[in-house]
A and B are shown apart, each in its own frame.
Chain A
Amino acid sequence: MCQERYFTKKHEWIQLLDANKKSIEVRVGISDHAQRALGDVVYCELPSVGAKFKRDDTFATLESVKAVSDCYMPIDGEISDVNEKLKSEADLINKSPYENGWLIQAFINDKEKKNISSTLMTEKQYKQFLETNKEAGDH
């Protein structure tokens, strides 16, 4: 079932999916903090299934009010699925950033799976990170 989420400093989250298949699959999205900071998302450009990315590569772009910004891969992976619903309902990202507004799914290897817990933040650590890094607009 649902494994815990890990977070990056750039406000993406990553979650291991059901691990009963041969390959290790993760789901990636942006955090609630990120969707609030962006404003209403109107358009989402997602990668193709099969595209390979390294950690920190731009894998998607989001357009919110008049601004286009990037989403960065939390770890190395190969895209296995993208959230097709976002094509017609990009604002799912705002309404449900952790559930229906997920961005992509990717296959990762064992080494990367270990990297998740050793290099990324738990939800609790991410909350603390947000506290100590308040942006001017948040006050």
Chain B
Amino acid sequence: MPHSRLVVQLIKCKKLVSYAYGQSLQSHYIQRLAIGCGPPALLLFQFEPVYTCGLRRSSSVITSTDVDRLRSLGADFHETDRGGLLTFHGPGQLVAYPVLPLQHPQLRLALRTYISHLEQTLVDTCGEILDHTRIYSGIDNGKSVSYAGAWVDNQRKVAFMGIRYSRGITSHGVSVNCSINMNWFDHIVPCGFDRRQITSLTDEIPDRKIMTVEQVIPIFIKHFQKIFHVELIENDCDYKQ
């Protein structure tokens, strides 16, 4: 019997924000949800250029020399507690953080089901934009965890995932390369992959049409609502750091 839909607040940050601001905003929602005085939320951002690494940050993943080098390119660098390896966030890339209480009676999702739904959201979103027959889900295709996300022609990754789950609440999330400057990815081994295996929606559209974050957002929201069976209600981004 389907349960009534959980109401999730949709927060779209209208301008470019720093990664630090994004983490503060996320913490704000997590804390209020955890103590029961705030709603679940879906936060949408575009970040100022930043490289991030996940929980696995040994010297085989990244060294302090690497960090200095990346910073010298004009990007920020942050360590995070999410899953996944090294990646880049910047203008032209949609970043989405679902802050959801997986054990809530109106959700009741195991972590791996949540991951699977999130990946499906990415696949359906990119499929609607490019062509469903060209988009493949990473988890079904690859045995390695780095494959999670959405793949074009099963060769190039266009959407990425890195999640944290703590005390019943999800944080961090997904990113979709829309019209991002792909040169930023030249300087790292993104998600542990060869640079040629990373792409953007704009680079995959045959007639060189540009696909912006603003155009992708409504499509992403539509699929997210459907797959997670939640109701997204938009609210202003009123949090001040």
Contact = CB atoms under 8 A, between A and B. Distances in A.
Contact of A66 (B102, B108, B115): B115
Nearest to B147: A65
A67 interface: yes
B138 to A, nearest CB: 9
A64 B112 CA distance: 9
Interface in B64-115: 81-84, 102-103, 107-115
B167 interface: yes
Given A39-B111, A42-B145, A135-B110, A68 B54 contact: yes
A23 interface: no
A65 B110 contact: no
Interface string A102-139: 00000000000000000000000000000000111110
Given A43-B55, A45-B55, A58-B166, A64 B107 contact: no
B166 A66 contact: no
B145 A65 contact: yes
Contacts of A70: 165-167
A58 B116 CA distance: 25
Given A65-B145, A66-B145, A137-B113, 20 more contacts: A37-B110, A39-B112, A63-B55, A63-B56, A64-B83, A64-B111, A65-B83, A66-B84, A66-B161, A67-B82, A67-B111, A68-B54, A68-B83, A70-B166, A70-B167, A135-B102, A136-B108, A136-B109, A136-B113, A137-B109
Interface of B: 54-56, 81-84, 102-103, 107-116, 139, 145, 148, 161-167
Interface of A: 36-40, 42-43, 45, 58, 61, 63-70, 134-138
21 contacts: A36-B112, A39-B111, A40-B145, A42-B145, A43-B56, A45-B55, A63-B55, A64-B83, A64-B112, A65-B83, A65-B112, A65-B115, A65-B139, A66-B145, A66-B161, A67-B111, A67-B163, A68-B54, A68-B165, A135-B103, A135-B109
